[in-house]
Amino acid sequence: MQQSNIEPVVICNELPAKAGRIGHLLLNRPQVLNALSTDVVELISNALTKWQQDPEILAVIIQGVGDRAFCAGGDLKQLYYAGVTKYEQALPFFKLEYQLNLLIHRFTKPYIALIHGITMGGGLGISVHGSHIVAAADLQLAMPESAIGFYPDVGGTYFLSHLPDYMGMYMGLTGNTISISDALFCGLVKYCVPRDNFDALIQELCNADLQTNLQQAINATIQKFATNVTTPSTMQQKLNTIKNCFAKNSVTAILTALQQDGSPWALQQLAVLQSRSPTSLMVIQHQLTIGANMDIAACMTLELNLTRAMIQRHDIYEGVRAALIDKTRDPHWSPADLAAISSLEIQKIFEIKCQL
């Protein structure tokens, strides 16, 4: 029989460590920026479930192959080509993905995400729910779903709404890409480690005494490789504008506040929001408002229902077409105006019809 030369989409290993082993997950789809697929999600889920029960596994490390990205998110092209009439075929993937996000959030052992480059959407779902988020200086982090007629899922309801000073609302609504400086400032990343030192950090973790005070030992080991980031944080510099404008209780009020602020940066954010899906903006504003008072399990159930509703609508297919298929960056949203969307229509999108 001819041996297959197909590389696994996730390389799962167990690294020898003092008094045990460290689980190691390596996303291995660099040709598509390590985008998530059903196979990728299932392999990670199965490995974590096994390692959670194995007393010899002390911690888990996840990272991505390739120079460009840790993980660019889910592969939404498949959803686009299936079309809205077959939306139900996409739901099993989303359900598996959200179950994995919840598994990582609840994982009782240290989960160390070594992220770099493009880390967006689903890439945050398999990193920021962990206990230790380490990023390289080239980080490009975003929840860009408002630009494609969707909303920040993979637990974004929880982790964005729990960021201080409405920074999560700013990120969710604009979909802007943030730097390592911003990610450290808002708390989505805990350490900056040069990517060239990732391998040395992993080896040091394997050599460390993790039997005594496991969390403290991992923190101390990462700290050995951590570097200070001197590039100013845009979010820190613009924090007063973010707090003043994105704290408003409606999308319309946020747009008005940005207009009244009048600064070049505020007007730039206004232009960004005016280019986004109006339906997505209204969904996201409500999602992150209520998410601040929900636990992670409730957030994930909400997201499964939001996704079910959103993938039956025009905007996500138009958004994916404009951003990923034709790459024309000219989406034609429907409805095209906030005033055309009723609060009742938004309420229906938030109806709970299925459980995670």
Mode of pairing for the β-strands spanning 10-17 and 20-27: antiparallel
- What is the chain's length? 356
Task: Find where tokens 């109806």 sit.
Answer: 351
Q: Is 187 left (phi over 0), alpha (psi -120 to 50) or beta?
A: left
SS3 62: strand
Choose among 287, 283, 308: nearest CA to 98. Answer: 308
Query: Can you tell me whether residue 143 is helix, strand or coil?
Result: coil
Residues marked as catalytic: 74, 122, 145, 153
Would you give the distance in Å from CA 126 to the centre of its chain? 7
Provide the CA 128 distance to its chain's centre, in angstroms: 7
Q: What is the dihedral of CA 86, 92, 94, 98, to 10 degrees?
A: 160
> How far is the CA of 16 from the CAs of 19, 58, 157, 217, in angstroms?
9, 10, 37, 17
Q: What is the CA radius of gyration of the chain?
A: 20
Does residue 89 contact residue 79 with C-beta atoms inside 8 Å?
no
- 3-class secondary structure, 353: coil
Q: CA 115, CA 197: separation in Å to the nearest integer?
A: 12
How would DSSP label each residue in 236-279? HHTHHHHHHHHTSSSHHHHHHHHHHH--HHHHHHHHHHHHS-HH
Choose among 126, 107, 9, 119: nearest CA to 58. Answer: 107
